[in-house]
Amino acid sequence: MLWQDRDDEPPKELRDTQDMLRRLGFLMALAMFLVMIVIGLR
């Protein structure tokens, strides 16, 4: 074949970016949850 078969694994930079976005999404969900609790207590 004229080309190499690519690995299914994404490059390290993409994996790091996905991990960062996953953490950011978790933190945003947690922050929204805490805001809802604070608003509910008023």
- pLDDT at 5 > cutoff 90: no
Q: Where are the alpha helices (DSSP H) in the chain?
A: 12-41
User: Residues near 10 by Cβ (< 8 Å), separated by ≥ 6?
Assistant: 18
Rounded CA separation 24/34 (Å):
15
The residue count of the chain comes to: 42
- pLDDT at 1 > cutoff 60: no
- pLDDT at 40 > cutoff 90: yes
The tens digit of pLDDT for each residue in 9-25 reads 778 999 999 999 999 99
Average pLDDT, the chain: 88
